[in-house]
């Protein structure tokens, strides 16, 4: 295939009118999609323009998507004024956090609805709240403060088996992950499944949820792309683990994924409504909120909670399907959301606490903080630190963009790392290479006042999307 070079006239035919958008599009296609045909490039660029919200968090296309996110031309009412020049918030592990994530949190604290804020040590730049940002608001919810992957969560099932059992049956464990999990946008498992979530009344409460029910049926028990995974590994439990198990080593199945197309569609729909009703300056548009007394706010709250329950149902099915394939029986389970909003009492006030990539860490609350595909993660118990708004990190946090990670390591180097760490990877991409992540040990050292470590998870067989 010869070298393809899009021209301005090609872009204008698909209704690109801004010179900046045209220049960006041409540059992105030349650098990142040079092996795609001209027709494929133009189709993708048309999709970015027509459905820009879907691409706002994309490492490559996000900047272009933002070009279609300016509603200033249609706003004929006064914009909502930010309340103050700045707002105070707690920061944990400041040396690990990039300045752009810090600046995003500063912007969030300027909102009239903001009451408390905290930044976790794994924080990095996101859309709306930074990943690792915690924001408590009064009687309002920010759809993008929750994020596109509503109810993204961790779940760990522990089995009474040792590492020798895993090694003896490694082939069967790999086949279970290949045949009983599915990853990626639009992915379906392809086996008949049943779960009470599919019978929930909420699916009949709004036109959007009625429309999404079929998708929820098809995608039950599947995982997303990016950093989502299902993996087997070894769990070491310590004294006082609160799981009713003796200290020692156990087999574990750990999953990370969210609410699939259901949650993404809910997020985009209500973000669009919020931006129309809450006219913020351009630099703050991702923080558009819905008042919980409004009809749209109540609809979002209902839909968000359903999406969170659906994410849990997906995890339930993942663990059930894999365990059934292998004949494993659970002895304990730990799970938690980390992209969600909760109504919580802090001091004498009920607040809406958004945790965008942050783990609930109220006193005695159990959770999981994973590492990378080769680095150990931790089972933790919250200490209920009020300065963190009862929160902790949700992982190590990225230190490289996906693009930079792909450019910084080769496939052969990746294989050497996996071999050295004795990890088998099924799927996965260079953008998820261990070098893309911060050192979880340093992150954990910055939140010793937030959580107590009660167990450790070492990955052995990891399944991810083929990105």
Is residue 353 a contact partner of residue 140, using CB atoms and an 8 Å limit? no
pLDDT at residue 195 is higher than 90: yes
pLDDT score of 1? 44
pLDDT at residue 381 is higher than 90: yes
Integer Cα distance of 68 and 78 in angstroms: 21
pLDDT score of 72? 40
pLDDT score of 179? 93
Q: Are strands 114-124 and 90-91 parallel, antiparallel or unpaired?
A: parallel
Question: Across residues 139-143, what is the average pLDDT?
Answer: 97
pLDDT at residue 445 is higher than 70: yes
Question: What is the per-residue pLDDT across 323-373, written as a single tens digit (0 to 9) for each?
Answer: 999 999 999 999 999 999 999 999 889 999 999 999 999 999 999 999 999
Is residue 271 a contact partner of residue 95, using CB atoms and an 8 Å limit? no
Lowest mean pLDDT among 5-9, 104-108, 293-297, 322-326: 5-9
pLDDT score of 78? 55
72 or 436: which leads in pLDDT: 436
Distance (Å) of CA 466 to CA 6, 153, 218, 227, 437: 28, 21, 20, 11, 19
pLDDT score of 70? 56
- Cite the residue boundaries of each domain of the chain with CATH code 3.90.1860.10: 153-265+300-464
20 or 338: which leads in pLDDT: 338
Question: What is the per-residue pLDDT across 153-182, written as a single tens digit (0 to 9) for each?
Answer: 999 999 999 999 999 999 999 999 999 999
CATH number attached to the domain at 153-265+300-464: 3.90.1860.10
303 or 34: which leads in pLDDT: 303
């Amino acid at each position: 295939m010869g070298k393809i070079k899009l021209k301005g006239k090609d872009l204008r035919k698909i209704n690109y009118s801004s010179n900046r958008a045209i220049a960006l599009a041409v540059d992105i296609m030349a650098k990142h999609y040079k092996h795609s045909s001209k027709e494929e490039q133009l189709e993708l660029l048309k999709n970015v323009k027509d459905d820009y919200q879907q691409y706002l968090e994309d490492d490559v296309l996000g900047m272009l998507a933002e070009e279609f996110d300016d509603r200033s031309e249609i706003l004929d009412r006064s914009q909502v004024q930010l309340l103050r020049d700045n707002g105070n918030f707690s920061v944990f592990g400041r040396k690990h956090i990039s300045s752009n994530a810090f600046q995003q949190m500063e912007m969030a604290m300027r909102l009239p609805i903001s009451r408390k804020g905290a930044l976790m040590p794994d924080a990095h730049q996101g859309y709306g709240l930074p990943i690792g940002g915690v924001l408590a608001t009064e009687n309002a919810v920010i759809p993008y403060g929750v994020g596109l992957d509503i109810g993204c969560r961790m779940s760990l099932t522990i089995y009474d088996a040792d590492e020798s059992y895993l090694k003896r049956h490694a082939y069967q464990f790999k086949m279970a992950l290949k045949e009983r999990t599915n990853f990626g946008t639009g992915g379906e498992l392809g086996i008949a499944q049943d779960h009470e979530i599919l019978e929930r009344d909420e699916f009949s409460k709004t036109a959007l949820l009625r429309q999404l029910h079929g998708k929820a049926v098809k995608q039950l028990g599947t995982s997303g792309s990016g950093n989502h995974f299902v993996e087997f590994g070894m769990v070491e439990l310590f004294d006082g683990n609160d799981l009713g198990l003796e200290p020692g080593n156990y087999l574990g199945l750990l999953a990370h994924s969210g609410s699939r197309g259901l949650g993404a569609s809910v997020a985009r729909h209500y973000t669009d409504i919020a931006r129309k009703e809450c006219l913020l300056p351009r630099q703050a548009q991702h923080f558009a909120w819905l008042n919980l007394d409004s009809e749209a706010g109540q609809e979002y709250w209902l839909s968000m909670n359903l999406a969170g329950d659906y994410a849990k149902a997906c995890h339930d099915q993942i663990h059930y399907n894999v365990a059934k394939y292998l004949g494993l029986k659970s002895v304990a389970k730990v799970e938690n959301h980390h992209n969600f909003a909760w109504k919580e009492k802090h001091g004498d006030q009920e607040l809406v606490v958004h945790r965008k990539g942050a783990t609930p860490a109220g006193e005695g609350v159990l959770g999981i903080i994973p590492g990378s595909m080769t680095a150990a993660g931790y089972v933790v118990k919250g200490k209920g630190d009020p300065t963190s708004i009862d929160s902790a990190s949700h992982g190590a946090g990225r230190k490289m963009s996906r693009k930079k990670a792909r450019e910084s390591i080769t496939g052969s180097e990746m294989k050497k790392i996996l071999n050295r760490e004795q990890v088998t990877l099924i799927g996965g991409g260079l953008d998820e290479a261990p070098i893309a992540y911060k050192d979880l040990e340093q992150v954990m050292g910055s939140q010793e006042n937030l959580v107590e470590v009660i167990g450790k998870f070492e990955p052995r067989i990891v399944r991810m999307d083929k990105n």
